[in-house]
C-alpha cells in the first residue's frame, strides 16, 4: 500500500492514462457505449478525482499539528 501511495503521489495521472487505454477497448467490445468526447471527459474526471484523493491521502495535515503545538505551549 505504501508503494502505491508513493507511485500515485509521484504520478497520479497514470490512473487516467490507464483509463484512456482501456476505454477504447471497452467501446470496441461493446461493453460501454461512449464517443471520443465522453472518453475524454471520463479521463479528465478520473485524473481530477485520483489527484484530489491522492493529495488527501499523502499530504500531512499541518493544521492539526499547529493547534497541538499551541495547546502544549499554553
- The DSSP H or E segment spanning 32 is none
**Calpha distance 46→44 (Å, rounded):** 5
CB 9 within 8 A of CB 54: yes
**Calpha distance 32→45 (Å, rounded):** 17
**Calpha distance 67→72 (Å, rounded):** 9
pTM, entire model: 0.61
Does the structure show a pLDDT above 60 at 74?
no
What are the pLDDT digits (tens) for 17-64?
Answer: 888 888 888 889 999 899 989 988 988 898 888 888 877 777 766 655
Rg (CA), the chain: 19
Amino acid at each position: 500500500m505504501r508503494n502505491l501511495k508513493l507511485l500515485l503521489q509521484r504520478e497520479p495521472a497514470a490512473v487516467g492514462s490507464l483509463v484512456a487505454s482501456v476505454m477504447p477497448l471497452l467501446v470496441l467490445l461493446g461493453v460501454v457505449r461512449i464517443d471520443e468526447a465522453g472518453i475524454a471527459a471520463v479521463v479528465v474526471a478520473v485524473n481530477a478525482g485520483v489527484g484530489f484523493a491522492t493529495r488527501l491521502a499523502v499530504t500531512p495535515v499541518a493544521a492539526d499539528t499547529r493547534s497541538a503545538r499551541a495547546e502544549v505551549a499554553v
